[in-house]
Amino acid sequence: MFGHVKIRAMSPTREAALVARWREVLSCYSDLSCALDRDLQERHGIGMSDFEVLDLLMSADGGKVRMQELGERVYLSQSALSRSVARLEKQGLVTRAMCDQDRRALFVQCTGEGRALHTEACPTHRALLERRLGG
Of 104, 112, 133, 135, which lies in the binding site for DNA, with binding defined by CB under 7 A?
104
Residue 124 binding DNA, by CB under 7 A: no
Nearer to its own copies, 99 or 127 (CB): 127
Instruction: Give burial (CB, 10 Å; 0-12/13-18/19+) of 84.
Output: buried
Q: Is the separation of the CB atoms in 44 and 91 below 8 Å?
A: no
CB of 97 to DNA, least distance (A): 10
Q: Which of 32, 44, 47, 91 binds DNA (CB under 7 A)?
A: 47
Please state, in angstroms and rounded to a whole number, the distance separating the CA atoms of residues 129 and 27. Answer: 14
Q: Is 135 in the site for its own copies (CB under 8 A)?
A: no
CA 79 to each of CA 51, 71, 93: distance values in angstroms, whole numbers, following the listed order? 17, 10, 19
Instruction: By CB under 8 A, tell whether 91 contacts its own copies.
Output: no
Q: Select from 15, 19, 22, 38 the one that contacts DNA (CB under 7 A).
A: 38
Identity of residue 109: Q
Other beta carbons within 10 Å of 118: 20
Q: Does position 123 bind its own copies by CB under 8 A?
A: yes
| Count of residues near its own copies by CB under 8 A | 31
